[in-house]
Amino acid sequence: MGNWEAQQPPLYYLLMAPLYAASKHWSMVDQLFLLRGLSYCLAWIGLCIATIASLRRDDGAAVSGLSLAPALWPLLFPAWFPEMARLGNDCLVIVLAACAWIVLRTIVSSNAGWPRYAVFGAICGAGLLTKATFLPFVAAAGALFLFQLWRERQNAGFLPKLLGLLAFIGAIVAMSGWWYVEQYLETGNPIGSIDMIMLNRLGGLLAGLSQNATLGLLATGLLYLVTTFVWAAISIPPLLVYFPGYLIMALFGWGYIRHLKASGSTPVDWVPVLTLAGLLVGLINQLLVYIALYASPGMPGYYLHSFAPVLARPVERAGAAIRRSPLMRRALQVMLFLSLLFLLLAMFMQAQYFSGCANQAFIFYFNIFTSGPCATDLPRMVENLSVFAWPLLAFGLFAAGWFLMLCGAVAAMRCLHVHANEGRAAR
């Protein structure tokens, strides 16, 4: 039997171990609140770092309301909430991704020396020691550095770029190389994937797919991947209410294509695109592994949210294109309103499910017909949820968080509006 924990890099767990040890004699409710609360705060700190960095432009572009794309991410894609509320290492990934994206932008926008490349490599190495999902971002950044090196091949900037690339690679190897070498030596797989190890013992991917794969499983898996990016939790709302989320993704895809046609892109703009492509390739590959190994299509797409600081860049660019079309701008406003309603509905369904007020209809799909008797019995829901959580505190903190977020958004938009009227850059 394989060790499922061994495939997880250690950094997040090393950081959480002292808190776990200090709270091991607490009740389950108290300990979960501490550990999950800290993880959740880390995720929001990462998003705040990304938002502040987005408002302090280093690419010469004017600051606008669209620069708030990282802050708007949870409203655009509400699966952020259940994904980051999990007790898992994605919360640390988002902090490191935000820091890495800031340093990468400063490297590209200035004649940075090799020490800054080394700092960037150290952050990426820490990311790889947190989760293997950092690999696509590292590969995309490496491709950008190689492109810069090739462009400077006959200029005086070639040597500094070469030293920077070597410092970047060296820092990554020094930080995280030992872990991946150890995994390869122990398991034969550089990321220690237990699924790949088990699949290789059974004959490999092609043999498993030839035995278990069907078009229905593949289509269901792809739908599940997209759906769990919109919302992913134990109890899934009816698919019909996901429609606004699907439209938002399609709208931003259209906007980004329109942006590329109208304005083109800079080399650094390709890093988020390549990162997204790499993550999707990895998720689809894992989906195929699940089908080959278990005849199961259950590969979730919520892992993409851990790279919100990086992926917010194309969202910002797409938003600029959407804003230029009155029809699409109105459509986006409607979709955002429906997305907010979806979030409230989905969280209420979660509360009903965990309080024992409703059942699952099919696999994880929420059975809305069994929730009627309990939907209006809020005291009963609170009492049941209190067995393993603090529902009243959670509701208060959630309401306070939304209030602070709205205040911040209004203040930021007002600041941007005032500075725009005065004809000067916003700070």
Higher pLDDT, 195 or 274: 274
Instruction: Please determine, for residue 408, whether its predicted confidence score (pLDDT) is greater than 80.
Output: no
Contacts of 121 (CB under 8 A, 6+ apart): 167, 168, 169, 170, 171, 172, 175
Mean pLDDT of 188-209: 83
- With CA atoms as reference, report the closest residue to 313 among 377, 237, 260, 250: 260
Instruction: Please determine, for residue 363, whether its predicted confidence score (pLDDT) is greater than 50.
Output: no
Instruction: Please determine, for residue 139, whether its predicted confidence score (pLDDT) is greater than 90.
Output: yes
Q: In angstroms, how far is the first alpha carbon of the chain from the final one?
A: 56
Q: What is the pLDDT of residue 104?
A: 94
Higher pLDDT, 234 or 321: 321
Q: What is the pLDDT of residue 128?
A: 95
- Asked whether the beta carbons of 236 and 300 are under 8 A apart, the reply is no
Convert the pLDDT of each residue in 60-116 to its tens digit: 454 555 667 788 888 888 889 888 988 889 999 999 999 999 999 999 887 778 899
Q: What is the pLDDT of residue 72?
A: 83
- Collapsing DSSP to helix, strand or coil, 222 comes out as helix
Contacts of 189 (CB under 8 A, 6+ apart): 183, 196, 197, 200
* DSSP line for 81-109: HHHHTSSSTHHHHHHHHHHHHHHHHHHHH
User: For the chain, what is the mean pLDDT?
Assistant: 83
Contacts of 12 (CB under 8 A, 6+ apart): 88, 89, 91, 92, 130, 131
Mean pLDDT of 374-386: 77
Convert the pLDDT of each residue in 338-352 to its tens digit: 888 888 888 877 777
Q: What is the pLDDT of residue 65?
A: 53
- Collapsing DSSP to helix, strand or coil, 119 comes out as helix
Task: Give the pLDDT band of residue 8 (cuts 50, 70, 90).
Answer: confident
Instruction: Please determine, for residue 308, whether its predicted confidence score (pLDDT) is greater than 70.
Output: yes
Lowest-pLDDT range of 46-55, 275-284, 292-301, 358-367: 358-367
Q: What is the pLDDT of residue 361?
A: 47
Convert the pLDDT of each residue in 144-197 to its tens digit: 999 989 988 888 778 888 999 999 999 999 999 999 998 888 888 888 788 888
Higher pLDDT, 12 or 192: 12
Residue located via tokens 């993704």: 249
Q: What is the pLDDT of residue 33?
A: 86
Instruction: Please determine, for residue 328, whether its predicted confidence score (pLDDT) is greater than 60.
Output: yes
In this prediction, what percent of the chain has a pLDDT beyond 70? 86
Q: What is the pLDDT of residue 1?
A: 46
Mean pLDDT of 202-211: 85
Helix axes 243-263 and 308-323, enclosed angle (nearest 10): 80
Q: Which residues face 366 on adjacent strands? A: 360
Mean pLDDT of 281-308: 89
Q: What is the pLDDT of residue 109?
A: 81
Please tell me the pTM assigned to this model. 0.87
Q: E-assigned strands of 326-421?
A: 360-362, 365-366
Convert the pLDDT of each residue in 214-223 to its tens digit: 888 899 889 8
Lowest-pLDDT range of 39-43, 88-92, 241-245: 241-245
Q: What is the pLDDT of residue 123?
A: 97
Task: Give the pLDDT band of residue 369 (cuts 50, 70, 90).
Answer: low
In this prediction, what percent of the chain has a pLDDT beyond 90? 31
Q: What is the pLDDT of residue 420?
A: 57
Task: Give the pLDDT band of residue 362 (cuts 50, 70, 90).
Answer: very low
Convert the pLDDT of each residue in 252-265 to its tens digit: 999 999 988 887 77
